[in-house]
Chain A
Amino acid sequence: MLFGGLFSAYIFLRLDASPGDWPHGLLNVPVGTMNTAILIASSVTVVLAWAALKMRQFAKYKVYMGITILCGVIFLVVKLAYEWPQKFDHFGAFIKEDALEKYEPYLGNKHLLEKGLPPRKEITGHLHNKEALNHPNVKEYEIALDPVNADPTNPVNDRPHFFYVPPTKKIATIEKADVKYANMFIPRHSAYFASYFTITGLHGLHVLGGVLVFVYFWLPIGANMYKQNPEHLANRVEVAGLFWHFVDLIWIFVFPLFYLL
């Protein structure tokens, strides 16, 4: 129900976004796919750990549970040490409606209109003059453009890329007066990133909780419990596993909604 509320917030924000306001292709799809695979694999190993306990194979249980814990940790490390920081280092500026024409060489909206695709309103890339973010005397942003803005009429950029392509060497200068809103890719950048960070953050906390419980069962405490009553540990692992599968289940929806669509 907690995630249900957040997903409904997502639906509301997305339905209400006017064409071109909901960004696409800003996340790293191969990394997201890999994380999905890791989480699914960990769901399998936790069932196998439980099955090993049921069959009274404690050594196997230790191995499967160890793999599960490792998968959970890798998932979190990828998220916190790679994906999020990469976003925090990326920049986007939404152009005012009446200035869209001026930045047409970076947006390629005539080309998109001909193809019947939604317009582009944002210019993204690597911000060279970071002081522009909070210094009122700096009147413009200098951006090393993302490929989509460096070559906006190229058909390969009509749709998001599968592989992440870093910003090009092409520099664009955007006047602050023409910008509706600009920021790094942090929650306040847009409704998209606000919901992305909220939902993946809360999901990450659930992953962390699951990992902690599994570590507890994996430590000697688990072995002692097993010696006293193996069925006891098996049932605990089953229940913790239920929670873990639920975390996997949420991710199965999060992944396409944020990374792919």
Chain B
Amino acid sequence: MNEAPESQPAETVPHDDHTAEHVAAHVRKYVMVGVTLLTFTAITVALSYVNFGTMKANIAVALLVATFKAGLVAAIFMHLSAEKRLIYRILIFTGFFVLGLFWLIYLAWYNPIVR
């Protein structure tokens, strides 16, 4: 069919550290991260059936695990751990506004002016 040849003549040189040898070394890591994520999914489910006293405590635990998992996805799968500083600056900006949004929602609910 449209099977392309396995080996290629020299084409564009990869512009970053994502060379073939580099990538090959990372494949194992990607699989391990996947297994870790699956394990933590099972842990999240199990923990939700443990009574931590209040619903709030259970929510906090579940969100902590979820944040850890999301961090793994962002850092490894999305290559964030190998990113330049500029990307981080933009990300901090975004994170700040998302958290700010949640905080505004909390304020609207808590209503410190009337209380």
A245 cross-chain contacts in B, Cβ below 8 A: 73-74, 77-78
Distance between A253 CB and nearest chain B CB, rounded to angstroms? 5
With beta carbons under 8 angstroms apart, the residue of B2, B18, B59, B73 that contacts A54 is B18
B24 cross-chain contacts in A, Cβ below 8 A: 51, 55
Assess the B109–A12 pair: CB atoms within 8 A: yes
Looking at B4, B24, B33, B34, the one whose CB has the most chain A CB atoms below 10 A away is: B4
B113 cross-chain contacts in A, Cβ below 8 A: none
B106 cross-chain contacts in A, Cβ below 8 A: 11, 15
A217-261 to B contact mask, C-beta < 8 Å, 1/0: 000100110110111100000000110011011001101110011
B1-20 to A contact mask, C-beta < 8 Å, 1/0: 11111111001101000111
User: Which partner residue on chain B sits nearest A158 by CB separation?
Assistant: B51
Query: In the docked arrangement, what's the CA distance between A48 and B30, Å?
Result: 8
Assess the B20–A56 pair: CB atoms within 8 A: yes
A226 cross-chain contacts in B, Cβ below 8 A: 4
User: Which partner residue on chain B sits nearest A159 by CB separation?
Assistant: B49
B81 cross-chain contacts in A, Cβ below 8 A: none
Known contacts A55-B23, A261-B62; A4 and B109 CB within 8 A of each other: no
Query: In the docked arrangement, what's the CA distance between A8 and B108, Å?
Result: 11
A241 cross-chain contacts in B, Cβ below 8 A: 77
B2 cross-chain contacts in A, Cβ below 8 A: 220, 223-224
Known contacts A29-B45, A249-B74, A256-B66; A40 and B34 CB within 8 A of each other: yes
User: Which partner residue on chain B sits nearest A225 by CB separation?
Assistant: B4
Known contacts A43-B73, A47-B30, A51-B30; A56 and B8 CB within 8 A of each other: yes
Known contacts A37-B41, A41-B34; A57 and B6 CB within 8 A of each other: yes
Assess the B8–A230 pair: CB atoms within 8 A: yes
Distance between A159 CB and nearest chain B CB, rounded to angstroms? 7
Known: A43-B34, A159-B51, A252-B69. 13 other contacts (CB 8 A): A8-B102, A33-B41, A40-B38, A54-B14, A55-B23, A56-B20, A58-B5, A58-B6, A162-B45, A232-B12, A249-B70, A255-B66, A256-B48
A–B Cβ pairs within 8 angstroms, 17 of them: A11-B105, A12-B109, A37-B41, A40-B38, A41-B38, A44-B30, A44-B34, A55-B24, A56-B6, A58-B4, A241-B77, A242-B78, A252-B69, A255-B41, A260-B45, A261-B59, A261-B62
Q: Which 3 residue pairs spanning A and B have beta carbons closest together?
A: A223-B2, A44-B34, A260-B48
